[in-house]
Structure 1
Amino acid sequence: MGNTSDGTFTTFEIPDSFGEKWRRMFTSAAEVFDFDLSTLSILYEDRVHILAQGGTVDDLTNRVIDYDFIKCIIERNQPHAIFDLREDSQWQNSPIVQAGFVSAAGFPLRDDDGTPFGTLCVLRTHPAPYPDSHFKLFESFAHSVEVEINAFRDKAKLHEERERRQTAEHLVENAKDLHSMLFDSSLDMMLIHDETGKILDVNARVLERLGYDTSELIGQSPGIIAAPEYAPKAKMRLEQIFTHGEAFFRTQLITKSSEELAVEVTSQLFKWKGKPAIFSVVRELESRRIPEEELEDHKYMIRVSEKVGNMGHWIIDLIDGNLEWSATQYLLHGVEPGSVDATMDFFLSTVHPDDRQWVQNAVEEAIATKTPREAEFRIVLPDGRIRWIRSQNTFLYRGEKAVKFFGIDQDITEEKALIQELEESREHYKSLIENLGDTTAVLRHAIDGTILYLSPSIEPMFGYKPEEGLGKKVQEVCEYSPESLARIETAIGEMVTSGKTITIEVAFKHRDGSWRWNISHAHPVRNSSDQIECIEVVATDITRRKILELELAENEALLKEAQRVGIIGHWSLVPESGHLEWSDETYRIWGIEPGSIDLNLEYALSSVHREDKSRVAKELQRAIESDIPFSVEFRVTRP
């Protein structure tokens, strides 16, 4: 669960072990500090949910209890204690008093921004003060709970941001792949070369006409397909393309079966996978009759490809100035095919006012200089919606004369939104991990332990600045105790094998020489090939909580020793189940070795002196039925 701006909670996972750990701590504390119930609660959907409880009442874990006092603490957002609820007009008839509680103290649990989301409450069935030492201890408990729950929330946020970023990157890549559909369905041969002329990619038409497999052409120089007498001119053509940005020439290609093909080639510079490359369209000069059915198939494939890829194409006849649009080009502009005259004036009227002038200038400049260019601009649909368009174009030549200006437009609105979301996600992710506070840090390291990233909060936690740790092994920055190091190695092995998140508590030495503790949540980060790229760790400093646990354990030991010396024992009974528990000293008072018998209420009553048995049984039954404490003196008969 996680806090939102309106004070309610959104869901995120809180491990069961969290509630169990605090239940044990509260149960032990109840014996030391004399309270009947301590609860950890959160406010979710305007209801109070109990996460953990310890004391002498029934188990309330994960049930919803409408305790007004708990809600009051959340609303006050300040610690508050009441000696006797029955004497306070606000609480005299409240559910908390009806439940049998008389004295209460509450401590708010706050989010990182100070917004309360829950409480830690201590309840007693009798009037009692709350000394400063007890008050401070439970404030410390509340702070430890805040740190842990906020760490669970931050971990969930990091995971969510990472998944959103990966999804956005995946969708952007898919959008780019749609271009290949037009590439492979063209009737002309198309090739992509790098700056040296090496072939990077070819379309299906090249393989069909030249008789090669893709593997035979990729990585080869143009000479493999050029007729011998034309091969020496390849270097000159490359220089021409890089000088003028384009080239048009005629040449001869040779197929794998040694057939010569007379062709005309139109080449231009463009970006391919982020690097400069050459795109060439190769058209055979000799007429070749294509069956009408095959021609229609190709036209159909182009229409489908444009529709699937949100693309359209246009042609400007440079002789008569006529502009033609494909059917999907009309749809890109939000109008039915043929419903308007596709003129340059109409096109410019659809361009966003802020982009219109520079788009017009770009078209006029491209036609005047015969220089293709790529542009991204906005258009406004008839219903007022705005679309982003990516336009790529080239010139078609007859001989040395450019006769047509041809372009492909693609709707990239979703891609733009995804890129924007991706950038915002990256910035949010960066801000999130850089502002986690002094008690939570993020560490990312390679499988071999080499540190790849450290959040700024690593310095207060370990004593090292982020730049001091980058490139080093984790063990060089984090000196763990031998027991912790063994647990870490085992846990990482399990995580790599299962691919699941692991959670461990470890002891480590701070740069100042002091020993501290943190709880670490580690998970594998995978690349696009589903291989583990690195391991990301969200670590939360729990030193304060550990010290409190040790102090509580010492107090518990002192309590047991005091009970032993004073011959005082204690017991607890669950009436519904009949479950009975005795302290070690109670066993000794009864003259029995601790744990040596199957303890139950029937056995306990059977050991009461026969003259006292009826009286003790009645007092016990009365207390159970009325929820009123009782005090009784009686004799026991030892074995």
Structure 2
Amino acid sequence: MALAGREGLEKYRAVFEAASDGIALQYPGTWEIVDVNPAMCRMYGYSKEEIMHINPALLFSGEDPLAMEKAGARLQAAMSGHPQLFDWHARHRDGHTFWIQVSLKLMQIGPQAYVLSLVRDITDRKRIEQELHDSKISLEQAQQLAQLGTWRWDAINDVVTGSSEASRILGVDQPITQGEFIEIIHPEDRTRVAKAIRKAGESDVPFSQEFRFLRSDGSVLWVHSVGKTVFEDGRPLYSFGTIQDITDRKRFEQELQESETILAQAQQLAHLGSWRWDVQRDVLKMSDEGYRIMGLKPGEIGLNYSRFLGFIHPDDRGEMEKAITATVNEGLMYRQVHRLVRLDRSVRWIQCEGKMISTEDQPAVMLGTMQDITEIKNAERAVEDARAQAELFLDLMGHDINNMNQVALGYLEMALNKLHRGEQIGPADVVLVEKPLETLESSSNLIRNVKKLQRARSENMATQAMDIGEVLTWVKDRALHAPGRDITIDYRPAYGFRVMANELIWDMFSNIVTNAVKHSDPKKPLHVRIAVDRVFEAKQEYYRVSVEDNGPGIPDDTKRQIFSRLQHGRGRPRSGGLGLYLVSTLASQFHGRVWVEDRVPGDHTRGSRFVVMLPALRAEDANSDAEARA
């Protein structure tokens, strides 16, 4: 480069003085600085006079690898006509170092040749480069820790490149094509992933897939990859995304799934379910076996506290609520045995346990288990029933039937003795035959009721939809034909009151009406009133059947025992018939109840009222029954 003429020198001087970068002129060979501009002086902190007389070596840090010898080599090359551009470490007058970019060129000014040095402070650029480098290192380290790499597919050149972590995950150390990428996907996943990649390359639909890779060493890796394609003029330009090694997570998921399967199988074998109740959000989560215990398919319905209580038998619900409330408020662990009523009306015995897990004295969640102990209860009940039935049969044979036989034998002996004396048996002696017949009929009725009781307690009697109205109409007609009695039955037939029961429901209501006839004064008219009402208890619909009479009534102390011919654990059964005990047994079997009260409240001498409550048949139950019968 050469400058000639006064005008050229003036222009050079103007640019020289105004330049924002540092400029210095040096003699070739000696490095002597012959001129510097103001920017150079500001950059180094020296005056022009100082910098022109300073040893040039003091302007550089001299630190390896930027030693002075290398600076000399750069100057030598520039003097040989080879321009130089390089980064260098400079030293300020106050001693601190900073980065500069140096451009060296040989320049001819008039007859003299100089080395022109253009110096730019690049400290900020170097800081940014260092920050970018540090950021890149941090990113690579973070990707390595997270096993997360980045990738980019150049759609135009069909080249897939990735970060170092992506290369490690894939087991590929060089760019590959998209086809080669798809080929290393596990064969069982390949079609699905290729379809998703193709779809992402044809539309603006993000790519997100979990799949397996076959690495060159034969190992299999699970990865999760997400990506998106950038388009230009409707054509894919490139795709970018991430790929994460999720092999450990998949292994943990598999182990967890196997553990949960084993737990579910163990729960099913033990009929033991587990549950978790978020008290604050009122969300109840149940294991699959817990749902099955409730008669539901796993996850069939969402559960909360009130919905769960709805499955508890009405007679047990109050105690259950008390136990749960005490657990929530006082942190006590509860254990309850209660009955659970399924949607199909079947009843299961459940042992339920729960415990609060609280944080900062605030109720958080309750954890617990529920075990179906119906079979245990049935076994206990079977043993108890067997013992009770043995006592019953012994009592019937040794007391009731024996007494009846003694009465019949007494009258028959009286008739036989009369005949032995040669006397005639006339109309006045008809009682000698009627009484034995009457007692034998009572004995036969007692035996029939025992058989019905055995049937009622059998698990094999299936229930079906039955109309109470039809049953009561039949009972009324049968009772009105009682010989030698003045009986009026006030009952207006009404139909459509459907319940789930079996054929013994006819005996249940017949025994109640027969009891009113049997225990009333045969010399007085008997008035019986039968009514059916629809009532609701605990949000459940029931049919309330009342049978009241104007007979002698039942004293209060007798009311408490009238249905308890065979009360478990209360000692020896008392004598008498089995009719009302059969009524109580059947009402319980049909998930209802029966009681007796005064027809006129407070005055038992003015007649009795027997009340039977049976659950109303819901539409879905009726449909299920119809399908089962079909």
- Which bin holds the TM-score, normalised by the shorter protein? 0.3 to 0.5
Question: TM-score, with normalisation over the residues of structure 1?
Answer: 0.40
Question: TM-score, with normalisation over the residues of structure 2?
Answer: 0.40
Kindly name which structure, 1 or 2, has the bigger radius of gyration based on alpha carbons: 2
